[in-house]
Amino acid sequence: GVTVVAFIESGSAGEQPLSSGPALSGQQLIEDLSGRLERLGAERESGQFSLDMEVYTPVQQQQQQQQPASQQQPQPRTLHVVASSEAPVSSYILPSGSSIEAAAGPLVSADSMFGLLLGQLRALYQAKPGQAVHCRGPKYRLADFTVRLATAVFGQSNSVKGVFVEAEYRPCNRLQFGWPLLKEFFSGVFPDRAFAVEHPNEALQAHLQAQAATGPIDYTYPVTVQQYLLLAYQLGSSRQQMRSAVAPSSAADAAVPVSMQQQQSWGRAPLPGPPSQLIGR
């Protein structure tokens, strides 16, 4: 069903949470949000929700940069590969640099075997566990809604940078129709985060705009995956601005400054300005 994903930074990351409440750590946030859901009568679903966004960078990239511009071949792009417990046999792949606003949606859905195929191309791509994002958390069912909460751990550190909150309205598969109800539900359950659903995010807007060209399209899980990738990207960009000098996370990354690393990994055109007017507020 139609789904919206938002991200709440945890206080332990050193930034001010945007609500007026006290700064909460990632785990405390999960407990706080879970508590709210349970008080509303939500039932905890069995099993854990997990979503991993892995990054694979081209091996040749750094060598290419040393050649004069005239000799450079089209470079292989960094790949983001997402695996989710909600689609256990699938992998979702997004080459970086592609615009999330592209009408056709450049996200590729593939069998989970894709990672093994990439493993055969070891000379071309290497995994970068330091840039991965791992999300884990509980799932709740409340009437026709499912809420998935997940602590987000960036790279190989153990510290939780925040919490992803996903709200799905299961019966509806058309975003235009389900958005108002989804927004109302989210704002009602998480009133201090209502700003996160003031307007549909860029991934949802892209989904709506694609329909302007081709006619109605069902909302499918890849659009949810796009939202996670979008939020992780925005988080990566904002962190990069706040960091002035940070020690590299591993020797292999030391050759390239961290800010350039982030750009190479999530390098995209800046996100556009005003939100879509396709659906009412």
Partner 1 sequence: QQQRVPNTEVYLQGSVLKPFTEFLLTRLRGICDSPGDEFRDQESVFTCAVPGLSGTRLRLRWSLLHPHLPAYLRYLGIPESADHRVMSRAAYEVPVFPLDAARQLVESMGFQHEFDFIAEGTVFRRGLLKITVYRVYRPGAHASLAPESSLVEVSGLGPSSLTAGMVESVLSVRDQLKSLVLLAKHDQKAPKA
163 binds partner 1 (CB under 8 A): no
Q: Is 73 in the site for partner 1 (CB under 8 A)?
A: yes
Asked if 130 and 253 touch (Cβ cutoff 8 Å), the reply is: yes
Segment near partner 1 (CB under 8 A); pick from 14-22, 46-54, 122-130, 160-168? 122-130
* 114 sits near partner 1 (criterion: CB under 8 A): yes
Alpha helices in the chain (DSSP H): 26-39, 61-65, 114-119, 175-189, 202-214, 221-242, 258-266
Q: How far apart are CA 272 and CA 173, in angstroms?
A: 26
Q: Which residues have a Cβ under 8 Å from the Cβ of 114 and sit 6 or more positions away?
A: 81, 91, 93
Among 18, 113, 242, 260, binds partner 1 (CB under 8 A): 113
Contacts to partner 1 from residues 80-109, by CB under 8 A: 93, 95, 97-98, 104-109
**Cα separation values, 11 from 15, 24, 41, 112, 170, Å:** 6, 5, 27, 35, 31
**In angstroms, what is the minimal distance from the CB of 118 to partner 1?**
9
Q: Which of 116, 143, 246, 269 binds partner 1 (CB under 8 A)?
A: 116
Smallest gap from Cβ 69 to partner 1, in A, equals: 16
Asked if 110 touches partner 1 (CB under 8 A), the answer is: yes
Q: Binding of partner 1 at residue 117 (CB under 8 A)?
A: yes
State the minimum distance, in angstroms, from the CB of residue 110 to partner 1.
Answer: 4
Residue 142: which residues within 8 A CB-CB, separation 6 or more? 37, 40, 41, 42, 43, 189
Q: Catalog residues that contact partner 1 under the rule CB under 8 A.
A: 58, 60, 73-77, 79, 93, 95, 97-98, 104-111, 113-114, 116-117, 120-121, 123-125
